[in-house]
Structure 1
Amino acid sequence: MATLSLAAILAENARRRPGKTALVEGELRLTFAEVWQRALARAGALTALGVRPGDRIALMAPNTADFPVAYYAVAAAGGVVVPVHLLLSPPEVEHVLKDSGATLLLVHPAQADTGRAAAQAVGVRVVVLGEEFDRLAADAEPLPSYVTRAADDPAVVFYTSGTTGVPKGAVLSHFNLVMNATVNAFDANDIRPDDIALGALPLFHAFGQTVSMNSTWRAGATLVLLPRFDAARAIELMVREKVNTFHGVPTMFVSLAAAAAEAAALPELRICVSGGASLPVAVLERFEEAFGARIYEGYGLSETSPTATVNQPCFGTRPGTIGHPLWGVDVEIARAEVEDRIELLPPGELGEVVIRGHNVFSGYLGRPEATAEAVVDGWFRTGDLGTKDEDGFLRIVDRKKDVIIRGGYNVYPREVEEVLMRHPGIAQAAVIGLPDELHGEEVCAVVVPAPGTAPDAAAITEWSKEHLGRHKYPRRVEVTDNLPLGPSMKILKRELRARYAGR
């Protein structure tokens, strides 16, 4: 049995470069040795609380030092991290805790109310990061090293709604995540130990977790955390800390390009990586002009650790594309309508993007049917439509299944529709994404009123706020007499998008 632990990323740095600054958050500066000591002390506390290898531990925290310390503590104790999205409502958090079978929730004080309410409902123990976790760590015996895990053992479970509406847990192994961090650091882009990266992407999200945190540390570089993204503050912080590496979603690049004109000074950026949603070429050009830095756009999913492709210096870069597959990963275009097998298409043809390699997940937690549907003939079917040109550059053209990407967060229309259908004044609802300059796409609900009611659009938005995560509720509501239906009685969303996009 080959053994491997995600915890080795931090443990090896503590051994090789103990005195080097690993983490900066506000006034706090920690070396690799200090972060690892903190993680081992908290791993000891987890063990004292009864955490056993393979136990799933939910982690709900913003981009403060508490997140990486707790994350590596869980890994060191042999546990499985279940990151919880910070914008979820208590019932949504409850689903994640229940579905994952989490035995403990580690929650930041800022999220403690939501976390506690959800944990109480499902009978899960809560430990608050900061004072409480520190006290437990001080009373426990720190672990001497990390617990042995097999390379294929689960390390992290990311909750992703896919297209089914109800979030499913994508199980990623130690091998998946260590390889993705390693290949991101050393093969996709040349990350060096003296680099300093800004961690502005949420660490609970696969992109922030693998690319900002794990890949930066895999290379022995420094991570500067920004708990809340604000473009002007991000620029100031990058200048002050001499940050030369930035990872972001398109909305971040939009606001940085806009804020650059007002800034007293700009950071000297060597590497910028964009992912999470399609980066409009106009945004890429505006940013590159303002900062004199190149953006490498990439693509991936929670199920692929997440990075699958990225524009890489060794292949050349091409704006408007997602570049080439990562080292050891194959990304091809398959016939989208053939479900039971993978039929690869020649260059230039439009089809479904399929992925195979060391980055493909173990499966959906407790959902063998969903896993069998997603992984066919050893290839992961992404549900995204794309093309691959003669030079091997990949392009995402559209989503097979209407997912809305608002500000880098996936919003699944069906999930929003199911909530709207509980509104007493709504008879029918269709949720679509409409182009939006700031967020890439905005969530729009097109509703048919229930007989005898006259729902007010603004009131529906307010009502939705109480029932849906902050990134999900429809900012725009359109009331109509009927929805366009196709021959199989499916709502024709493309017609709705065409009808409302220009307004």
Structure 2
Amino acid sequence: MTSVTIPSPIAYRSARTHIDLFSALLRAKHEFGADKVIVIDGDDRELTYKEIIRAAFGLGAALRKNTKRGEAIGVMLPTGAGAIIAFYALSAYDRTPAMLNFTAGSANLKSAMQAAGVKRIVTAHKFVELAGLESLITDLSTAAEIVYLEDVREALTLANKLAAVLGPVMPGLIRPKPRYKSPGVILFTSGTEGEPKGVVLSHENVMANVEQVRAHIGLSAETDKVFNPLPTFHCFGLTVGAILPIVAGIQVMFHPTPLQPREIVKRIRSNGSTILLATDTFISQYARTGADGDLSSIRLAVCGAERVKDETRALVRRKFEIEILEGYGATEASPVVAANQWEHNKPGTVGKLMADMESRLVPVDGITDGGRLHIKGPNIMLGYLRPARPGVLERPEGGWHDTGDIVAIDDEGFIRIQGRVKRFAKIGGEMVSLAVVENCASAVWPDNLHAAVTMPDPRKGEQVILLSDSEACNREDILAWAKNHGVPELSVPRRVFHVPEIAVLGTGKIDYAAVKAQAEDLMER
């Protein structure tokens, strides 16, 4: 492997978490210099701390009109400077950014907006046009006022411009007194297991996770550069991909979508990025697309949101000598719960818990190795908002969050994810992980996507159905692989269907709600 200097993690300091998100941005400006280029946008435009803060004060002064402190304002923008400036603009004046997933569809978005009480959405004409979202915006405009950044900039008043000038110099005179325990951002669950829920994170929650990650993984403001193509409506893309590097003085290059592997590997090469944020699905695409040298500057790939397959890990190590650090998170945890470290990296696990976190395993019927993971810590959300009870915050009982994941924890504290409780099938009284079913197919056809779901079975209670975008995928080959590798036959799907493509969410995760509907349709034919 190429020789690299590994920065040492900093000590976790809880005192640094007692601050609101905008004040943390101001603190970073003082720590690293107002003229430091901290953000590189999708068009390669460079922005300094001074430029981001000035823009946030000016835009925020305009956006706060006809709103009140604490009000949730929707942000519907791609990953980039525009989204980050809008986020900080709202935060500067104590409005709560609600990050809306523009790939979720009108029904899910309206449900999310209802839960959080969103009556205004900030977006951009250019984005709507390029993404082809005109019909979506038309539909959403019946439930909320649509505010376009281009229009706001054209209509900035003298007072707004003065706020942009005076704010960075005298922030205490311009913005309300910050409250770090109040809501700092609202994100939304994907809705794959029902209606999306609003996840309310306080300023302290997010800042705690920023400091936890900094204390867990060695990062250098002098030598590191982060490349972030992940959406900011996803907590990983927002906290780890935007807020953390900006707070820690690490230059971050944004890319508006993770679905452009050719453009992404070229930009990584030109910028000399050293840290890549990705999911298994996306990094495997980048590794297959990249030519010799395209990813040679990357010293570390931090992957979350889905399990990293052995085939992916082997590919990026063989082709580019990149080490993958797999982690585990949940939006409710701001989001990072655990992660591997350079010096303590155990493939097949998601590493150890973040600092200041506690865990407990609740027994699950039929599971002998592990249990249902509950977590507690300073990064755990304030609570949920549901469409059925708009604005009513459901706080986690006793501060504990039930992740819904079944995990095992070894003697060293490394966590191994076995699957979600809802992603197990009970066949003849035995618990079968759908993730294991998918892993068997991935081992035989590593270049394709595979998704397993359950269907009722009159004899055994449930049966497992596998959908694959590989025409070669078949039950017989999966069964042969399972027998050769000691995997029980129960983990072999009852039926296999070939489909043109597997439905994927904007976050890169498989859309199991869509897969389930597709499987039901195929079974009825």
TM-score under structure 2 length normalisation? 0.73
1:5 correspondence with 2:20:
yes
Distance 1:28 1:447 in 2: 54
User: How far apart are residue 83 of structure 1 and its match?
Assistant: 0.6
State the partner residue of 1:424: none
Is 1:246 equivalent to 2:258 in the alignment? Answer: no
1:480 and 2:523 correspond: yes
Q: Identify if the C-alpha distance between structure 1 residues 51 and 441 changes in structure 2 by more than 3 Å, giving closer, same or farther.
A: farther
Q: Give the gaps of 5 or more residues in structure 2.
A: 1-16, 426-433, 458-498
Provide the rounded CA distance (Å) in 2 between the counterparts of 1:403 and 1:172.
29
Of residues 132, 137, 161 in structure 2, which corresponds to 1:116?
Answer: 137
Give the C-alpha shift of residue 163 in structure 1. Answer: 7.1
Quick one: which amino acid aligns to residue 177 of structure 1? V
Q: Could you list the per-position Cα deviations for residues 382-430 of structure 1 after superposition, in whole angstroms to 9, with x for gaps in the alignment?
A: 11001000111100011101399xxxxxxxx9xxxxxxxxxxxxxxxxx
Whether 1:266 and 2:295 are equivalent positions in the alignment is yes
1:7 aligns to what SS in structure 2?
helix
- Report the Cα offset of residue 439 of structure 1: 7.1
Partner of 2:111: 95
Whichever residue aligns with residue 7 of structure 1, its letter is F
Q: Identify if the C-alpha distance between structure 1 residues 265 and 98 changes in structure 2 by more than 3 Å, giving closer, same or farther.
A: closer
What's 1:44 paired with?
Answer: 61
Contact 1:60 1:105 in 2 (8 A): yes
> Which of 323, 333, 353 is the aligned partner of 2:373?
353
Cα displacement (A) at 1:324: 0.2
> Could you say which residue in structure 2 is the equivalent of 1:158?
187
SS at match of 1:360: coil
Please name the residue that 1:324 is paired with: 352
Query: Post-superposition shift, 1:361?
Result: 0.6
**1:6 offset after TM fit, Å?**
0.9
Distance 1:8 1:30 in 2: 18
Summarize the alignment of residues 384-399 of structure 1 with structure 2, pairs less than 5 Å apart: 384-399=405-420
Give the Cα separation in 1 of the matches to 2:350 and 2:406: 13
Q: CA deviation at 1:128?
A: 1.2
Q: Secondary structure at the match of 1:479?
A: helix
Question: 1:202–1:209: 8 Å Cα contact kept in structure 2?
Answer: yes
Aligned-pair distance for 1:50?
2.1
CA contact (8 A) 1:386 1:396 kept: yes
> Structure 1 245/3 Cα, relative in aligned 2: closer, same or farther at 3 Å?
closer
The residue type equivalent to 2:232 in the other structure is L
Output the CA distance in 1 between the equivalents of 2:28 and 2:394: 39
Is the contact between residue 332 and residue 388 of structure 1 (CA under 8 Å) also seen in structure 2? no
For 1:284 and 1:234, locate their aligned partners in 2 and report how far apart those are by CA, in whole Å. 19
State the secondary structure of the residue aligned to 2:21. coil
CA distance in 1, matches of 2:449, 2:358: 28
Q: Secondary structure at the match of 2:413?
A: coil
Contact 1:385 1:397 in 2 (8 A): yes
The one-character-per-residue Cα deviations of 1:234-260 (angstroms, maximum 9, x if unpaired) are 121111111111111101121122123
Number of paired residues?
426
Q: 2:316 aligns with which of 287, 298, 306?
A: 287
Identical amino acids, percent of aligned pairs: 22
Question: Partners in 1 of 2:138 and 2:453 — Cα distance?
Answer: 30
Q: 1:401 aligns with which of 415, 422, 430?
A: 422
Taking structure 1 as reference, are residues 164 and 255 closer, same or farther at Cα in structure 2, changes over 3 Å only? closer
Q: Does 1:231 align with 2:251?
A: no
Output aligned runs, 1:44-443, within 5 Å. 44-47=61-64, 49-109=65-125, 110-111=127-128, 113-114=134-135, 116-122=137-143, 124-129=144-149, 131-137=150-156, 139-141=158-160, 142=163, 144=167, 145=171, 146-161=175-190, 165-184=194-213, 186-194=214-222, 195-229=224-258, 230-260=260-290, 262-263=291-292, 265-313=294-342, 316-336=344-364, 349-365=369-385, 375-402=396-423, 437=446, 441-442=450-451
Offset of residue 200 of structure 1: 0.6
| Matching residue's letter, 1:8 | S
- Mark the runs of 5 or more structure 1 residues left unpaired by the alignment: 339-344, 405-412, 414-431, 449-460, 483-503
2:108, 2:195 within 8 Å by CA — same for their partners in 1?
no
2:359 partner letter = V
- Could you tell me which amino acid in structure 2 is paired with residue 232 of structure 1? R
What per-residue deviation string (whole Å, max 9, x for no partner) do you get for residues 115-151 of structure 1?
53243222x211112x213224455422622432322
Distance in 1, matches of 2:394 and 2:75, equals: 29
With a CA cutoff of 8 Å and minimum separation of 6, indicate the structure with the bigger relative contact order: 2
Deviation at 1:52, TM superposition (A): 2.1
1:233 is aligned with what amino acid? E
CA distance in 2, matches of 1:443, 1:117: 36
CA drift of 1:322 comes to: 0.4
Alignment partners' CA distance in 1, 2:360 and 2:340? 16
In 2, Cα distance between equivalents of 1:114 and 1:263: 42
The root-mean-square deviation of aligned C-alpha atoms, in Å, is 3.5
Pair 79,433 (structure 1): closer, same or farther in 2 beyond 3 Å: farther
Q: Deviations over 1:209-232 (max 9, x none)?
A: 011101111211111011123222
> Deviation string for 1:174-196 (max 9, x for gaps)?
00001111221x21111111321
2:153 aligned partner, one-letter code: D
Q: Distance in 2 between matches of 1:88 and 1:161?
A: 8
* 232-241 vs 156-165, which moves further: 156-165
- SS of corresponding position for 1:182: helix
Distance 1:443 1:28, change over 3 A: farther
Match in the other structure for 1:490: none
CA distance in 2, matches of 1:441, 1:149: 47
Q: Which amino acid aligns with 2:44?
A: E
In structure 1, give the amino acid aligned to 2:22: A
Which range moves more in the overlay, 149-158 or 203-212?
A: 149-158
AA at the equivalent of 2:200:
V
